[in-house]
Structure formats: structure tokens, C-alpha cells
Structure 1
Amino acid sequence: MSSATGHGVDPTFYRSPSDAIAAPAERLAYVVAFDRAAERPDALVVVDTDPDSSTHGDVVGWVDVPTRGDELHHFGWNACSSAFAHAGHHTDGLQRRYLLLPGLRSSNLHVYDTHPDPRQPELVRTVAAEELAANAGYSRPHTLHCGPDGIYLSCLGAADGADGPGGIAVLDHDDFSVVRAWEADRGPQHLSYDSWWHLNQNTLITSEWGTPSMVEDGVVPELLLRDAYGHALHFWDLAEGRHLQRVDLGEQHQMVLELRPSHDPNATWGFAGVVVSTEDLSASVWRWFRADDGWHAEKVITVPAEPAPAEQLPPVLRPFGAVPPLVTDIDLSVDDRYLYVSCWGTGELKQYDVSDPANPRETGSVRLGGITARQAHPSAPDEPLSGGAQMVEVSRDGRRIYVTNSLYGAWDDQFYPDGVGAWLAGLDTDPATGGLSVDERFFPHGEQFRGLRVHQVRLEGGDASSDSYCHP
């Protein structure tokens, strides 16, 4: 098995963001779904996104993984548009073909081939937790991207689930074997979560959540109130794996999660989401940028907590009398125009115009679910939703937004103790003017997911959060 099969350049590799925006729209969405009880296999689910199809909005493919207890979480393609910049791995024959599915609890990684039948991917390899531990010294794989010298897989824990340091494992582009740990000099970095980069600036950025013991059973109130979770960004030399700079956002800004760098390869800014402030339960979004004296970060969006009667709140929140927004995902449109901010606690998805990234301007908002409000979907107004807008994915042309409702099994149980159900919602926007509306035709939910919870979405041909580009 090799990811460099066939001839020519994959048409879903785009030399620039503008090429990606102009490409044909996605017809399929791939969704990972997991069994919280770990009694059934997790699954890779395929959903029809073609508006002209008779099965639009329906589940049209389903593949169970071969193990149990994985808790599929984030996943990604073996290759993307950044392949144009990968020295030593030319693009002739390389394809965006394989989906790599890490198990956040099991530390296994399953590899699926989406050719020849995109609706029924085939398992071609499982990378066992033991290989990840032996060859890279890591566990609890979280996020992956196609990198310059391999596939970069960020991990929360050290070997066998030990409490760090977390970091990045490098996988072979072709056979997906675990090659090594990426870091040559990690400096002060210990906590891990997301990783992304500015390819043209030879800079990799990482964020911080916590070690396995800090996250596997949910938010630990004692750790949160001690400001013990991650609260910094790290900047690295991409080619050398060498730590350059730590930027502390302030210890009260707990859990620095998703990273979204500008898609313009010549830009040197991006956004990071922070789940909660221990000062007032607000959430925030920060802009990082480079100046003459190094890398900096500034808070550009604050989302306040919303007061609520204690009797309406889950036990973990009753002492506070409020619903924290809990910003748990953000996504930046390919044209770098709109930033989407999911507030999983309140169920709100916010849209900001970030044409001036230092001064975001809110341009749209939709609520689905929420801890207390339980906003229903317009297509099912009598069915208040559990969970809230969580993982968000944006189409390459910026017109369609997809959101799922489950965050992480242990967090689901803490903040939605009566259950989160399972749903995937589609929203529409006009890239010229902004604004959000719910697509009433696209709402796979409930039994379509066979009792599993759904988390992340990847789109056929790439999407806003999985590609980086080499040319302006």
C-alpha cells in the first residue's frame, strides 16, 4: 500500500486559496462517530452533501472500525495542498485518498482508503498504540496534518498514557508507519493539543490542553480553579523541530485549543480559541502575529457567560449560576474573511468578519441546542436539541458550514448529563455579505447515526481546516 499511486497531480491539491475556492463543491462529508460505552465499534460515516441528490442530507455509507473503545475524535487526510511545498515528496502520484482516524482513548490509528468507492471506504491498515509508543514515545493521538517530511500527529500523552510531555509523532507519507517524535528540542513545552504552521515562514505553532489524567475523565474542577490547564502558545522552527518561543496568554485563560492560521501563505497571523476564563467563565479568541521582536498574541474576541437559574444547570455549573460559552472550536474560511466560533455551552455558532484580523466584527449567529436554552432545529421545531454547536467545518467556497454536537465523551456527560444525542447540521452564508441561516434540508440526526455520537467532519476534496497552501 502506498499513498503515491497513479500518475499526475491530484486535482484536489490547490496551489492557492483562490484555486481551492473555485474548485467543484464537495458532494460527500466524512464524519467520525463513537460509542461512549465502548461496547460497539466506532464508525466512519459518509453523508451526502450534494443538493441535487435524492439522498441529500442522508447517511449513504458506514464502516465500523475493527476495535472497540477508540473514541474517534479528530481525523484527517493523508495529503493536502501543502504537498506542493514538500521537499523530497513530489506531487506526481500523491493523492488525497486515505483518511487517518486516531483513537483518542485507545491510541490506535485506523487508515481507510476512499478509492475506488468514496461511499464505502476500506480499512487498509491499523497502527497499534504499541507502535506509536515504541517509535515516537507518545499516546492519545489527537490531530493530524500532512507535513513537510511526513504526516504530523499531535498527541496528548507520553508512551502508554503517561502524563507527558505530549508532542508530535511523524508518520511515513506512504506506508503510515510511525517514524519518530518530531521535536528535536522542546524547550519548556509540556502540554499538547493542536498543531499548525505557516509553511512559508518555516514556523509551526502548538497549543495546550492537558495530559491524559487531566482530560480523560472530563474537566477536573480542582485543576481548573488552580489554573493548571494549558494557557500558552508555542512557536517552533518547522524544519528543525526546535522550540523558539512560548507566549503565555495568562493563567486564567484555560485550555488553549484550536489553531487556525491564515490561509494566505505569506501572512503571519492566525487565531486560537480559549475555552474558559477562570475569572468570569467567559471564553475568548486570540490573534497571534509576528513583529520585529518575535511572536505575540492579543485577545480580539470575548464571549461572556450567560446567567442561568442553578436548577437548570448541570451539577458542575450550579455553584456558578451561569452557562459558560465554552469556545471549543473555531474555523477560518479559505479566503480568510470569516471566522466561525462555536460556543458549545450556549449552543451558539458565531460568525465574525475578520478582514481586519485585529478587529473582528460579528456578522452572524445561530443557536442549536445549548445547556439551558435547548434550541430546536427549524426542520424539527418540537424536538429541543441536546448538545450544542461544536466541531465546525467550512466548505472551500465558504458557502456551507457543517456543525456537529458532541465534544468528548467525558465532557458530554458533565455538561449534558441527560445525554447529547447525535446530530449534524448544515448552515448557509453568503461570502460577500455574511450572515448565517440554517439549511432545513440538511439535518442527519438521531437514529441515522445508530446510537453513536458524532464529532468531526471532513469534506470530499478538502475543507477550510485541513489544507495549507504554498502560493498566494
Structure 2
Amino acid sequence: MARWQPDPSFYPSPRMAQKAPPETLAYVAAFDPDRTRPDEIAVVDLDPASPAYATIVGRVPMPNVGDELHHFGWNACSSCLCPNAPHPHVERRYLVVPGLRSSRIHILDTKPDPRAPEIVRVVEPEELAERADYSRPHTVHCGPDGIYVTALANGKGEAPGGIFLMDHESFAPLGRWEIDRGPQTLAYDAWWHLGHDTMVTSEWGLPATFENGLIPEVLLGGRYGHKLHFWDLYKRKHLQELDFGAEHQLVFELRPAHDPTKAYGFVNCVVSLKDLSSSIWTWYRDGARWAARKIITIPAEPTDPAHLPDLLKGFGAVPPLVTDIDLSLDDRFLYVSCWGTGELRQYDVSDPHDPKLTGSVRLGGIAARTPHPGAGREFLTGGPQMVEISRDGRRIYFTNSLYGAIDKQFYHRGFDGWMVKLDAGPNGGLDLDERFFLEWPQGHLPHQIRLQGGDCSSDSYCFP
């Protein structure tokens, strides 16, 4: 008699997931910053034994132009094995790929041929607005009970942004997630502590304040997001707001501990209006409430104004602009992308309140433009941006593009896309893989990376 079996890429605990087979493919969202040709999902060969290693082996163009593919995710992951999950036999098969600018959501099936995914459904912006009253879908997370998607604006492109759910099988938007949103109006990322029935959300800004680039008056006026919000995950009600203060602009990527018994996580603040530094904060339980404290400050680097864009000339310094972070599955190492200075940092966060810097690699940067030894070029534009970690924690991949209009604001001397790989030692330390420099084809820029079979920022677990 045939029996249903869980997807072999699902693991009940992060410890077991660390023993998974190495990834051999990556899916990378690539967009045309000029919006004249379709964006695409590129398939990159990650197998060191393959003759096609570090090259694009498949490309799936979107059916329209101007989507601005940004963050995307899987339809299902290891949280489907949670005790309360109604879908334990769903497959990690489909990529849910939103267009941040178009509000269109593409569903790609990777199963028939992982190197040539097929678009099997497109959710148009009108359907999303009608069913959920949201637009500008930003981040996709697969949960025990559905697909969660954050949206930066309501159906009219205005406040409030928030979260909506999609069905695992039909991919229809089900509706707005929030029952009681309390004071929350801005949105960006969302993650959860399944073991503590808690959702956490962060903030960016409304589309009018970023779609054509960051607006200096809004930034210097402290009007971008600077808060964390905590919710009852199952009652869908706002519980608590933590305000970092208007000085701390752009509170972005949420990385909770993977171990479901641990009630803490990390978030990055892109820039301080006081001194252009970036910071990393830990949120944690403090009695019956949540609290947060700054654990890392990365200073701006003094620089000749001749090397700076107009936006920064008056400051005479390059801000680190920490725009992404990622946490290894064992909750030991936190990776920090300093997109402005061109540095990827590795911290040992075994003690989440006392991080230790254990590794650093420099590539690109607004002023330095540090080259890669495998690139055969004198300089690189862009810097470490979207970062992804293999499940065993030994391989780190990253791309260099943040957002089309913002790339041009900060990298005023031109911008070319690339993707690279680092090797991480078991006890810390980083080395460039000189064989892995993927110069992105002209006309597109690479952003989010997803690894076949799962990675460190796409799965949550119910068992320690």
C-alpha cells in the first residue's frame, strides 16, 4: 500500500537539517533596473564538480516588464512538520516570486526540471487588492498553515502595509492576516517564534518614499521605519511596539533563532542619522515582555568626498549601510552585509548579547571598489548585499544589488551585477572561493538567492 512521505528536504529540527546533502543549484531573482525587458529567475550551478560551476544554467523570464523582482520564497518548508501543521505532505516544489513594483506574484514549479522552472500561475495585482487589500508584496515565508507574504502598502499603495496569507495549493490570496494591528502602519519583514506563538515585524516605508530612490528629506527627517512590532501569532493581534528612535532609520531584516526553544533574534538598522553608523540589535524576552538592545555598532569610514555620491559628499564618509543579515542554522554565526563599505562580516553570536567578530571579506564598496581575485577586473561596483547560507553553514553566497533606483543613488560611478561565494571554517573565519565569481549578464541585476532544498533564511522548525 502506498504511503505519503514528508518531503525529503523537510527536517523537524535545525540540527538535523545541518546534515542535509549539499546544495547544487541556486535560484536568483534578477531584475532590469531600466524596466525595458522582463525580469527573470536565474538558475545557478553550485556543484564544484560540475563543468558549469558558478554559471547560469537556466533562465525563466517573467511574462511582463517592470516587476522589480525582489524577495521570494518557497511554498513550503520544514515548519510543515510542526504538530499543528495541516499540510505535512506538501512538497517544497514551488517558488513564490513577487514583483515589488508591479504587485504581481508569479508561481514557478521547479519539480519537472529544477534547471528550467515553469511559470504555472500569476496572481495579478487586482486579485491581490480585491482579496487582501494589499500591494507591493515584499517578503515570502512558508509557515505551518499557509504562505505568509508581507506587503509594504494597502491596495491603493498607501498605509497601512502588513501581511496576507496565500493558500498552499491554489496560491490564491486568502486575505489580510491582522485581526487587530494596533499602532502598526509601516511594514517590511516578518518572522516568528513558533515555540512562543509570536510574530515579529519590521518597517521600511511607503512606496512613494522609495520607488524612485530614497528621499533625503524623509531620511534626514527620521520618517522611515524605526520600530519592531510583536504579535500573538495565532490570535493575529498586535501585542507590543519597540521604538528604536527616529535616529535609527530603516529597521530591516529579521533573523530569529532557529532553535524553537530560544526566544531571541537579530535585526539590522541600516543607518544612524547621528553618525552614519549601522547597527545590529537583539530582541529577547524580558520577563513577560519583549525588549531589544543594540549589540553591534559599525562606524562609517572617512573618505575623500571626490569618491562619494552627492548624497554623501557633505558627510565626507562612507556609511556601512548594513542592508542584510543572515543567521546560521546552529544559531552560532551571524553574517552582516555592509553594502556601502563593501564588507561581509561574520560574528560569533553564541551569546546573543555579546557578539565576537570572527571573519571579514571586502569586495566592492562605494569608495574602495575592492576587486575579486577571480574576476579579472580592477574594481567592483556594488557590495555584499543579499546573503544566503548553506544548511551546514560552510558556504556563504551573496549578490550585490539592493534596489534599482537606490543602486544608482549610492553607486554613482556605474553599477554592474555579480554573485560570489565564501567558504566558512567550522569555528569561524572566511575565505573567498576564487573559482566562484559570476559576472551577471548585462541588462539585469541579481538580488535574493534561494538554495535548492532549503537554506538558513527560508525554514523554521518546531523541534529543538
Structure 1 alignment gaps of length 5 or more: 1-5
2:112 equivalent to 1:116: yes
Match of 1:451 in 2: 443
| Aligned pair partner of 2:371 in 372, 376, 381 | 376
Match of 2:459 in 1: 467
SS of 1:320's partner is coil
Amino acid at match of 1:58: T
Q: How far apart are residue 382 of structure 1 and its match?
A: 3.3
Amino acid at match of 2:456: A
2:434 equivalent to 1:437: no
Q: How far apart are residue 284 of structure 1 and its match?
A: 0.2
SS of 2:406's partner is helix
Match of 1:367 in 2: 362
Q: How far apart are residue 451 of structure 1 and its match?
A: 2.2
Q: How far apart are residue 21 of structure 1 and its match?
A: 0.4
Amino acid at match of 2:394: R
Match of 1:418 in 2: 413
Q: How far apart are residue 58 of structure 1 and its match?
A: 1.1
2:124 equivalent to 1:132: no
**CA contact under 8 A between 1:276 and 1:283: conserved in structure 2?**
yes
Question: How do 1:392-403 and structure 2 match up within 5 A?
Answer: 392-403=387-398
Match of 2:6 in 1: 9
Q: How far apart are residue 419 of structure 1 and its match?
A: 2.4
Match of 1:353 in 2: 348
Q: Classify 1:21/1:88 alpha carbon distance in 2 versus 1 (closer, same or farther; 3 Å).
A: closer
2:73 equivalent to 1:76: yes
Question: How do 1:230-249 and structure 2 match up within 5 A?
Answer: 230-249=225-244
Q: How far apart are residue 389 of structure 1 and its match?
A: 0.5
Q: Classify 1:419/1:86 alpha carbon distance in 2 versus 1 (closer, same or farther; 3 Å).
A: farther
Question: How do 1:196-275 and structure 2 match up within 5 A?
Answer: 196-275=191-270
The CA deviation string for residues 279-301 of structure 1, in whole angstroms up to 9 with x for no partner, is 00000000000121300000000
How many equivalent residue pairs? Answer: 462
| Aligned pair partner of 1:20 in 7, 17, 20 | 17
SS of 2:311's partner is coil
Q: How far apart are residue 443 of structure 1 and its match?
A: 1.2
**CA contact under 8 A between 2:203 and 2:251: conserved in structure 1?**
yes
Match of 2:57 in 1: 60
CA distance in structure 2 between the aligned counterparts of 1:164 and 1:84, rounded to whole angstroms:
35
**TM-score with structure 1 setting the length:** 0.96
Amino acid at match of 2:370: Q
CA distance in structure 2 between the aligned counterparts of 1:264 and 1:32, rounded to whole angstroms:
28
Q: How far apart are residue 86 of structure 1 and its match?
A: 6.5
CA distance in structure 2 between the aligned counterparts of 1:411 and 1:217, rounded to whole angstroms:
8
The CA deviation string for residues 74-105 of structure 1, in whole angstroms up to 9 with x for no partner, is 0000000011126352312x100000110000
Q: Structure 1 vs Structure 2: percent identity of aligned residues?
A: 60
Amino acid at match of 1:42: D
| Aligned pair partner of 2:314 in 295, 315, 319 | 319
Structure 2 alignment gaps of length 5 or more: none
Q: Classify 1:178/1:86 alpha carbon distance in 2 versus 1 (closer, same or farther; 3 Å).
A: farther
CA distance in structure 2 between the aligned counterparts of 1:7 and 1:417, rounded to whole angstroms:
54
CA distance in structure 2 between the aligned counterparts of 1:380 and 1:460, rounded to whole angstroms:
25
Match of 1:3 in 2: none
Q: How far apart are residue 148 of structure 1 and its match?
A: 3.2
CA distance in structure 2 between the aligned counterparts of 1:334 and 1:149, rounded to whole angstroms:
22
**TM-score with structure 2 setting the length:** 0.98
Q: How far apart are residue 160 of structure 1 and its match?
A: 3.0
The CA deviation string for residues 166-194 of structure 1, in whole angstroms up to 9 with x for no partner, is 00011111111011000000000000000
Amino acid at match of 1:55: A
Match of 1:341 in 2: 336
CA distance in structure 2 between the aligned counterparts of 1:128 and 1:60, rounded to whole angstroms:
28
Amino acid at match of 1:304: P
Q: Classify 1:343/1:88 alpha carbon distance in 2 versus 1 (closer, same or farther; 3 Å).
A: closer
Q: Which moved more, 1:256-265 or 1:54-63?
A: 54-63
2:94 equivalent to 1:98: yes
Match of 1:179 in 2: 174
SS of 1:440's partner is strand
Q: Classify 1:12/1:88 alpha carbon distance in 2 versus 1 (closer, same or farther; 3 Å).
A: closer
Amino acid at match of 2:37: R
Q: Which moved more, 1:132-141 or 1:145-154?
A: 145-154
Q: Classify 1:164/1:55 alpha carbon distance in 2 versus 1 (closer, same or farther; 3 Å).
A: same
Amino acid at match of 1:442: F
Q: How far apart are residue 417 of structure 1 and its match?
A: 2.1
SS of 1:26's partner is coil
**CA contact under 8 A between 1:196 and 1:204: conserved in structure 2?**
yes
**CA contact under 8 A between 1:86 and 1:149: conserved in structure 2?**
no
**CA contact under 8 A between 1:86 and 1:147: conserved in structure 2?**
no
Amino acid at match of 1:366: V
Match of 2:154 in 1: 158
Amino acid at match of 2:14: P
Match of 2:42 in 1: 45
Q: Classify 1:191/1:426 alpha carbon distance in 2 versus 1 (closer, same or farther; 3 Å).
A: same
RMSD: 1.1
SS of 2:407's partner is helix
**CA contact under 8 A between 1:422 and 1:451: conserved in structure 2?**
no
Q: How far apart are residue 251 of structure 1 and its match?
A: 1.4
The CA deviation string for residues 231-288 of structure 1, in whole angstroms up to 9 with x for no partner, is 1100000001100000111210000000000000110000000000000000000000
CA distance in structure 2 between the aligned counterparts of 1:443 and 1:86, rounded to whole angstroms:
42
Amino acid at match of 1:391: M
2:303 equivalent to 1:308: yes
CA distance in structure 1 between the aligned counterparts of 2:413 and 2:235, rounded to whole angstroms:
48
